[in-house]
Amino acid sequence: MPELPEVETIRRYLEPRLVGKTIKTVEVLTAKQFIGKKEHIIGAKIAKIMRQGKVLIFRLSNDLFLNIHLKMAGQLLFAKNKNQAVYQNPIPKANTTTMPGRTTRIIIGFTDESALFFNDLRKFGWFKIAPEPLAPLSADVLSKQFSQYYFKKTIDKSNKPIKPLLMEQDKMAGIGNIYANEAVFVAGIGPQKKAKNLTEKETTDLYLAIKTVIAEGIKYKGSSSSDESYIQPDSSRGQYQHRSRVYHREGQPCLKCNTKIIRIKQNGRSTFLCPHCQK
């Protein structure tokens, strides 16, 4: 699933290319993934592109918002020419270098003939038209609201294991499985340790670790592991997968101590850890 760094990378790519453009057409190929009447946004200009947690938000000139969640396998691809949408790299899960493809669900065309293609193999993602942004009410981990005090207060009394807790979007917005794994490793904390049992130093270290791995994820334009659908809107891959410390490194030596990285399951999700470095 695209997490904060992946969605922020997409936002940064699209903003200079889409802001100011007028929506000409909206083609909905999978009805359940588009909520609202498409006629309400045709003719509107894209005024601003924002992000809250994992939700991408287009503010439109008619005071409506087009909210986009990629969920597990969503992709957004930009083309300068809707009728000649050819990409340099094969599109994961779509098995093509042209758009639209077999996983294309929504196509937004603009008056200058450019287009935005939304692909989603699993059909969990959505576009929603609303009078306000539809995003988690918790603090985005890049926002000023996500202070060290906010973080401590959020996890202080929780009886839950710390790593899955980091992924709860109603507690803090933007962290998913990749960066939760990375953060607890950087902080040297066992992913199964209960949040309420973290020392003050561990809480501080984890807060700083979250900031570190999220910043790195953005710097390297997200993670595009072999089993993931995420790509940038020009079809290029993110590079964080080559920088990860534990995520998807089961059986490989820890970069700190050479102990083999192991994988366990937490809440049905894979957790990768170093049994020596994380306590």
User: DSSP of 31-62, one letter per residue?
Assistant: GGGEES-GGGTTT-BEEEEEEETTEEEEEETT
Please tell me the least confidently modeled range out of 104-118, 141-155, 217-231: 217-231
Q: Which residue has the tokens 């669900």?
A: 105
Catalytic position from the list 2, 5, 92, 191:
2
- What is the per-residue pLDDT for 228? 75
Catalytic position from the list 3, 6, 182, 228:
3
How far apart CA 228 and CA 72 sit, in angstroms, is: 9
pLDDT band at residue 95, thresholds of 50, 70 and 90? confident
User: Is 12 within 8 Å of 234 (Cβ atoms)?
Assistant: no
Instruction: Give the gyration radius of the chain's Cα atoms.
Output: 20
How far apart CA 1 and CA 230 sit, in angstroms, is: 8
- What is the per-residue pLDDT for 1? 85
For the chain, the average pLDDT equals: 97
What percent of the chain lies above the pLDDT cut of 70? Answer: 100
- Ramachandran region of residue 222, left (φ > 0), alpha (ψ -120 to 50) or beta? left
Strand partners, 234: none
pTM for this structure?
0.96
Long-range contacts of 206-212 (CB under 8 A, 24+ apart): 206/151, 206/162, 207/148, 207/151, 207/152, 209/182, 209/183, 209/184, 210/141, 210/151, 210/166, 210/175, 210/179, 210/183, 211/141, 212/183, 212/186
To the query of whether residue 3 is one of the catalytic residues in this protein, the response is: yes
How far apart CA 273 and CA 190 sit, in angstroms, is: 8
How far apart CA 94 and CA 61 sit, in angstroms, is: 33
Full set of structural domains in the chain with CATH: 2-128 (3.20.190.10), 146-271 (1.10.8.50)
Q: Does the pLDDT value for residue 14 go beyond 70?
A: yes
List of residues 6+ apart from 166 with CB closer than 8 A:
172, 175, 180, 183, 184, 210
Q: Which residue has the tokens 């994961």?
A: 92
Cis check: omega of the bond before 100, within 30 degrees of 0: yes
To the query of whether residue 269 is one of the catalytic residues in this protein, the response is: yes
The total number of residues shown for the chain amounts to 279
Catalytic position from the list 168, 193, 269, 275:
269
**What residue ranges in the chain does DSSP mark as E strands?**
23-28, 34-35, 46-52, 55-60, 65-69, 74-79, 85-91, 96-99, 104-110, 115-120, 126-130, 139-140, 172-173, 262-266, 269-273
How far apart CA 133 and CA 68 sit, in angstroms, is: 10
pLDDT band at residue 227, thresholds of 50, 70 and 90? low
Catalytic position from the list 51, 54, 93, 105:
54
What percent of the chain lies above the pLDDT cut of 90? Answer: 95
Q: Show the tokens assigned to 279.
A: 């306590």
At CA 242, angle to CA 238 and CA 245, rounded to 5? Answer: 120
Q: Does the pLDDT value for residue 226 go beyond 80?
A: no
Distances (CA, A) of 265 to 73, 191, 225, 273: 21, 10, 19, 11
Average pLDDT over residues 155-170: 97
